[in-house]
Chain A
Amino acid sequence: MSNPAELLYAKTHEWARVEGDEALVGITHFAQESLGDITYVDLPAVGDVVTAGEDFGSVESVKAASDLLSPVSGEVIAVNEALEAAPETVNAAPFTEGWMLRVKLSAPATGLSAAEYEAVCAAEAH
């Protein structure tokens, strides 16, 4: 699966889709693949504030757990509640239906381009 060009990426494998002063946040294909079958996604509550580079939740697979680091800063205005019943959506569609948060940005989002992020993945995968 290729990394959509219109997204911003973090070295820690999260993405942000900036839409005006809001952003959608999720984890990348590379991340879901290295975690394996995801069994649980722990997300913040609507109204919580997230900060770029700091953890906002975690994902669990059978034998691993990873913190999720936010690629953007702002207030959480929606979370993907469908992931509670169907965490496997993150495996199946990490860039679309597997989104995690919608954030009202408090600062302009920054991050890696798809090409820069692919270089990070290549370095990790070797």
Chain B
Amino acid sequence: MPFVPHTEAEIRQMLAVIGLTSLDDLFADITPELRPRSFNVPAGKTESAVLARMEALAGKNRTDLISFLGAGFYQHAVPSVIDALTGRSEFYTAYTPYQPECSQGTLQAIFEFQTAVARLFDMECCNASVYDGGSALFEAAMMAVRHTKRHSIVVDECINPLWRAQLETWHNEGIVHFVTVPHKNGTSDMAALKAAITDNTAAVMVQNPNFFGAVEDFSELFAHARAHKVLSVISVYPVLQSVLKTPGEMGADVAVADGQSLGQYLNFGGPYLGIMTCRKDCIRQFPGRIVGRTKDVDGETGYVLTLQAREQHIRRAKATSNICSNQALCALRALIYLAVVGRQGLMRVAENSMVMARKAVEKLTAISGVHLLNDAPFGNEVALVLPKPAAAVAASLMAQGIVPGFPLGGLYAGMDNVLLLACTELTSSQQVDALASALASALGGAQ
């Protein structure tokens, strides 16, 4: 039997020590009425048979397409060194570092992750991570509710609708409610966001670049929020954060992100990495695991989980969050990524991705009837308006092996003709040309 080392002789010896005669006696507490009505799980297979089946299933997924899909989740290069190092089983077969003396590897890595992200976002504190970008936003909202003892959160509709859908599901009306401020043609409606802030507002939440790819400066909005004792929460795209104005510079109180772009694979939706940072004066309401630096009894520097009294295993019903774990291995991937690309490398990834997006825009807007949704500055992603419904156009291009981006009709009212297109440093000029010519002929066919 795989992965169970017991021999028949050992089983007999162990049962004798326990004072039982058969393995079934171990389960005597489970009375007949509680026994399974069926247990028709298919018989086990050999390792090679399982792997062959998994390979067959993986083979049915089309990862060979030319893809301009983004929408918050991007195919950046994943340097091989990340798989090699996170594949060290001392990292991946350990658990939450409850015994710090035998977990310094994990603890120091998380401390370094906290440092690297805090520097990238220009924020004071960072935790060991939460599940994903959506849960980070939700936890930020809950932080603001506890910090301000107010219950309403102003949410910019330019925040990724996938994360807003999570907020909608996760929240409880008795604790927090969301007031969504509509976008203004794909950009934040600053005046409306300000106007939505009232005496009951705990936080205002925005995203940069926003879901449509537009790059904005929220400094003025955040100053307005601060004047009303409202927390400013911003969700950012970590790769572009190497060049864009930082949450710290804008005056944000809490900055969050999905860290997928930092060395994580797309993985059909997860695992990803929820990044959370905050100003020091919000630390008491900060959820999740946090690693701190201290000294041991001999004065050696070491690392421990700290501020644990906020957490569920101590506070139970009064904890800051129910979160119990973090995404430690994903945080490790992000740290190794940031370490190996370094200061210059991360800026280059951002700049190359932005250059490619401009090339794509240039080629595509040269096609008759195709134009940008707005004239806002953009990063590596942009919303294009097509002369025909984007979904139908996308379907026809996909049949030719090109995924032109994500049609927004299902996510925003009145956007049936809008396509959200992303580039990364892995996008090539040839791919952009292939998209442009396929799109031109797909649209030409309609004229």
Do chains A and B directly touch (beta carbons under 8 Å) in the complex? yes
Question: Is A60 close to B, CB under 8 A?
Answer: yes
- B228 → chain A closest CB, angstroms: 17
Q: Given A63-B314, A65-B314, A65-B315 in contact, is the A39-B284 Cβ separation under 8 Å?
A: no
A residues 15-58 near B (Cβ < 8 Å) are 39-40, 42
Q: Which residues of B contact A40 (CB under 8 A)?
A: 284, 309
B284 near A65 with CB under 8 A, answer no
B308 at the interface (CB under 8 A from A): yes
For residue A40, give the distance in angstroms from its CB to the closest CB of chain B: 7
Q: How many angstroms between the C-alpha atoms of A19 and B314 in the bound complex?
A: 36
Asked whether, in the complex, the Cβ of B284 is within 8 Å of the Cβ of A42, the reply is yes
Contact present for A61 and B309 (CB under 8 Å) = yes
Chain B positions 303 through 337: 1 when the CB is less than 8 Å from some CB of chain A, otherwise 0: 00000111000110010000000000000000000
Tell whether A62 is near chain B: CB-to-CB under 8 Å. Answer: yes
A-B contact count (CB 8 A): 20
Chain A residues with Cβ below 8 Å from B314 are: 63-65
The residues of A that contact B310 with a CB separation of less than 8 Å are 60, 65
CA distance A61 to B308 in the complex (A): 9
- Interface size band for B: under 10
Interface of A, helix, strand, loop or mixed by DSSP: strand
A27 and B284 alpha carbons, distance in the complex (Å): 21
Residue-wise, chain A 69-111 has the 8 Å CB interface mask toward B (1 for contact) of 0000000000000000000000000000000000000000000
> In terms of DSSP, what is the predominant structure of the interface of chain B?
helix
Contacts of A65 in B (CB 8 A): 309-310, 314-315, 318
Rounded to whole angstroms, the CA-CA distance of A61 and B310 in the bound complex is 10
Quote the shortest CB–CB distance from A41 to chain B (angstroms): 11
- Cβ B308 vs Cβ A63 within 8 A: yes
Tell me how far the C-beta of A60 lies from the nearest C-beta in chain B, rounded to whole angstroms: 4
B316 to chain A, nearest CB (A): 10
**B309→A63 contact, CB < 8 A:** yes
Shortest Cβ gap from B408 to chain A (Å): 45
Chain A positions within 8 Å of B318 at CB level: 65, 67
The residues of A that contact B309 with a CB separation of less than 8 Å are 39-40, 60-65
- Distance in angstroms between the alpha carbons of A39 and B294 in the assembled complex: 14
Q: What is the distance, in angstroms, from A65's C-beta to the closest C-beta of chain B?
A: 4
Cα A62 to Cα B310 in complex, Å, equals 10
Complex Cα spacing A61 to B315, Å: 12
Contact with A along B97-116 (1 / 0, CB 8 A): 00000000000000000000
A32 to B164 alpha-carbon distance, docked (Å) = 44
Bound complex: CA of A67 vs CA of B317, how far in Å? 12
A30 to chain B, nearest CB (A): 20
- How long is the Cα–Cα vector from A65 to B319 in the complex, in angstroms? 10
9 additional A-B residue pairs with CB within 8 Å, beyond A39-B309, A61-B309, A65-B318: A40-B309, A42-B284, A60-B309, A60-B310, A62-B308, A62-B309, A63-B309, A65-B310, A65-B315
A-B contact pairs, 14 of them (CB 8 A): A39-B309, A40-B309, A42-B284, A61-B309, A62-B308, A62-B309, A63-B308, A63-B309, A63-B314, A64-B309, A64-B314, A65-B310, A65-B318, A67-B318
What are the nearest 5 A-B pairs in CB distance? Answer: A60-B309, A65-B309, A65-B315, A65-B314, A64-B314
